[in-house]
Structure 1
Amino acid sequence: MPYPVAHVLFFLFCVGAVAIYALAGPFFRRELSFKDARKLLLLVFVGSLSTLLPDIMAVYNIFVNGNLDHCSIGSIMTHSLLFGFSAVLFGTFAGYAAYRESSKAASMAIFAGSAFLTHLLLDDIAEGGCAYLYPLYNGRISLFSIMDTGFAEAGGLLNYLAVSIVSVFCVFIVIMMALFALNKFGFEFGYGAEK
């Protein structure tokens, strides 16, 4: 299990690179205000808390049981897409409390969901799988298990390519979710044809 700081940094650097790029121009033109800083801090807070949410039981267990068990609350697996709805609900609540607009609350929910998913992906890479599909399937599934093997071990070239595409596509989807949500909060990117 990567340490909590690794989860936060992974999320901030994957998604934060986009935010830094979007903020660089206005920062150097001195167009950023205190309101913009509050908006950015809210995004960092929601994203950081959401990316740590799957490990919430580690805090309880370290004080009560003296261990770092963290993968379940009772019988509910915290490293699953089902538990990811708690991050989505948190993002919705935080977005609505801050903006009082349902569209921004929905964007904050997507942002929180993408943060939660970065945690699952990082644990998948480090530990070789997560219980993504709990309660439908309780076993661990790894999106990245075949990527570091050869063609023969993966069952041939086509199987290796299919698994690799799925693995990279999952990371792509998580980053695109965050970009979609950030667009609603002013992090816009555009293409201007060269003249």
Structure 2
Amino acid sequence: MPYPVVHIMFFVFCIFLPGLYGFMQSALGGGVSRRDWWHFLLLLMVGAFCSLLPDIPAVWNYFLYDNLEHGMAGPIPTHSLVFGTVAFCGAFIVGLLAYRHRDRALALGMFAETAFLSHLLLDDIAEGGLTYLYPLHNEPMSLFSYVNVEFSGVNFLYYNLAGIVSVFFIFCVLLMSLMSLHYLGFGFRYHPLQNGSGTNSGHSSVRSRCVSRGIQTSDANAVENIR
């Protein structure tokens, strides 16, 4: 299996890349507050933890049984879509506590799920087979084995469809990441979260965007007055 640092790097630089780019761009322009940094660190910590979640059983197995077995959590394979619900539900609860907003909590849960799936994809590349579809299908399967096939007159349509499904699964993981990051304000340009009740939050958002674009504070105040 890849080392934990590899899973975290894959998550940060592949799954979280749009949010990282947009936030760092705004931060270098001085357009983020302490609350924005807290928001950024929350997503980073939730995503990093969920990108390691399938290997978490190795921790207690090391202390209790002196081994690094991590494939099972009781009767459930940790490298399966079913176990991914733990990442979604856990992040959803964290989102409710942090944001007190159901839709934002759902977005955080979706983001955590993409971090979990990034772990499965990387392990699939390294090991060549995971029990994705447990309990419907208990045999290991690899998404990438179907992509790299030679031309053959036998089952030509089957292998092409399997390859398309494999690529579509990877596309869905990336799309889920982009959608959840965008809803939480972490697109290619960072947009601070706004409270549902106040115009002050809207004004601070305008100010942050103005500062990130190099507009002076006085001009930002003028924009707020126009609003």
Query: Quick check: which has more Rg, 1 or 2?
Result: 2
**Paired residues for 1:3-152 under 5 Å:** 3-152=3-152
- List per-residue Cα deviations over 1:40-60 (Å, max 9, x = no partner): 100011101111111111111
Q: Give the Cα–Cα distance (whole angstroms) in 2 for the partners of residues 20 and 74 of structure 1.
A: 36
Look up the SS of the partner of 1:96 in the other structure.
helix
Identity %: 46
Q: Give the Cα–Cα distance (whole angstroms) in 2 for the partners of residues 23 and 86 of structure 1.
A: 28
| Equivalent position of 1:174 in the other structure | 173
Contact 2:111–2:180 (Cα < 8 Å) also in 1: yes
Which amino acid is 2:99 matched to?
A: Y
Which amino acid is 1:78 matched to?
A: T
Deviates more, 1:25-34 or 1:101-110: 25-34
Structure 1 gaps of 5+ residues are 191-195
Deviates more, 1:7-16 or 1:38-47: 7-16
Q: Give the Cα–Cα distance (whole angstroms) in 1 for the partners of residues 25 and 188 of structure 2.
A: 12
Which amino acid is 1:175 matched to?
A: L
TM-score by length of 2: 0.77
| Equivalent position of 2:192 in the other structure | none
Q: Give the Cα–Cα distance (whole angstroms) in 2 for the partners of residues 156 and 135 of structure 1.
A: 27
Q: Give the Cα–Cα distance (whole angstroms) in 1 for the partners of residues 88 and 3 of structure 2.
A: 22
TM-score by length of 1: 0.89
- List per-residue Cα deviations over 1:34-82 (Å, max 9, x = no partner): 1111111000111011111111111111112221110101211111111
Q: Give the Cα–Cα distance (whole angstroms) in 2 for the partners of residues 155 and 26 of structure 1.
A: 54
Q: Give the Cα–Cα distance (whole angstroms) in 2 for the partners of residues 188 and 75 of structure 1.
A: 39
Q: Give the Cα–Cα distance (whole angstroms) in 1 for the partners of residues 50 and 7 of structure 2.
A: 10
CA displacement at 1:161 relative to structure 2:
3.3
Look up the SS of the partner of 1:130 in the other structure.
coil
| Equivalent position of 1:163 in the other structure | 162
CA displacement at 1:3 relative to structure 2:
1.2
Deviating 4+ runs (over 6 angstroms)? none
Question: Which of the pair has the greater relative contact order for Cα pairs under 8 Å at 6+ separation?
Answer: 2
- List per-residue Cα deviations over 1:104-155 (Å, max 9, x = no partner): 1100110011111111111111111111111121111111113334224x95
Structure 2 gaps of 5+ residues are 190-227
Q: Give the Cα–Cα distance (whole angstroms) in 2 for the partners of residues 186 and 38 of structure 1.
A: 13
Contact 1:151–1:160 (Cα < 8 Å) also in 2: no
Deviates more, 1:178-187 or 1:105-114: 178-187
CA displacement at 1:171 relative to structure 2:
1.4
Over aligned residues, Cα RMSD in angstroms? 1.8
Deviates more, 1:141-150 or 1:160-169: 160-169
Q: Give the Cα–Cα distance (whole angstroms) in 1 for the partners of residues 144 and 127 of structure 2.
A: 10
Q: Give the Cα–Cα distance (whole angstroms) in 2 for the partners of residues 17 and 118 of structure 1.
A: 13
